[in-house]
Amino acid sequence: MPAPRKRKSPVPNGMTAKQMRRKKPINLDHLKTIEPLTENQERVFNSYAEGKNLILHGCAGTGKTFIGLYLALREVLEPSSPYEKVYMVRSLVPTREIGFLPGDHEDKSNLYQIPYKNMVKYMFEMPDDGAFEMLYDNLRSQETISFWSTSFIRGVTMDNCIVLVDEFSNLNFHELDSMITRVGENCKIIFSGDYTQSDLVKSNEKTGVLDFMKILQTMQSFDCVEFGIEDIVRSGLVREYLISKLNLGRSEEHTSELQSPCNLVCRLLLEKK
């Protein structure tokens, strides 16, 4: 007696079988509509819509990582999108070898994922508090987001995805070079960071970050957006502090810090006032 055929689940009109498979429990229906708050944020939205890769750098509290992650999630959750996943990548700088921490790579990297757990709560509308608490973990479970440290990125090819390299100012030139050469087919990459908040100690490592940015600025596929004090949206206190810091010249390294791209822009804006 022949085995009964399995019935194929019906595919809704207007959706292909592939799109149906990509219909996630957490999808665009839950994603809020977020609009840019400053001119530079609007430029990021426009450049991303044009298919550009992005370098988002400048002052703290300007929403660089937030809007980068939002735009990436919005595209990945679109059923017709060629992109299947968002890769969050960052360096675990204070423990670059991360063998000092107990547990496996997942346990060691949990601390560094807290900012993203908080960010996604502002991007989605969920039915209850429990769903909000599990939101980031559920996005990972359904393979919408994957978190990697740069310690394990070598030898990998990233296809059909959007890569967000956060705190890229904590990577030296060799690490940045290794990161961008992981990009495969159907892949976008976004670099987000603030040169003035770099945890790198050696001067040659810091200048390597600037050298890397200079290379990307010559590439037509990249748009480099520099955020200044006029773009700060985190709080009035952050804006007030950065203005006072620049006025008093109390950067951590008086010479190199004051010559950084972000601080040069901030000083010019202050002089205009």
The pTM is what?
Answer: 0.80
**HSE-CB for 43 with a 13 A CA cutoff:** 14
Lowest mean pLDDT among 48-57, 59-68, 81-90, 106-115: 106-115
DSSP state of 140: H
Average pLDDT of the residues in 256-263: 49
End-to-end CA distance of the chain: 87
Phi–psi pair at 251, nearest 5 degrees: -75, 160
CA distance linking residue 168 with residue 156, whole number of Å: 18
Q: What percent of the chain has pLDDT over 70?
A: 77
Average pLDDT of the residues in 190-210: 82
Bridge partners of 163? 87, 189
Mean pLDDT score across all residues of the chain: 82
Instruction: Say if residues 56 and 64 touch (Cβ distance below 8 Å).
Output: yes
- Identify which has the larger pLDDT, 15 or 72: 72
**For the ranges 82-96, 185-199, 253-267, the one whose mean pLDDT is highest:** 185-199
Query: Looking at the predicted structure, is the pLDDT value of residue 271 above 70?
Result: no
- Identify which has the larger pLDDT, 256 or 35: 35
**DSSP assignments along 13-45, one per residue:** TT--HHHHHT--SS-TTTBPP----SHHHHHHH
Lowest mean pLDDT among 76-80, 113-117, 153-157, 214-218: 153-157
Query: Looking at the predicted structure, is the pLDDT value of residue 249 above 80?
Result: no
DSSP 3-state of 219: coil
pLDDT confidence tier of residue 146, bands split at 50, 70 and 90: very high
Q: Give pLDDT, residue 65.
A: 96
Query: Looking at the predicted structure, is the pLDDT value of residue 182 above 60?
Result: yes
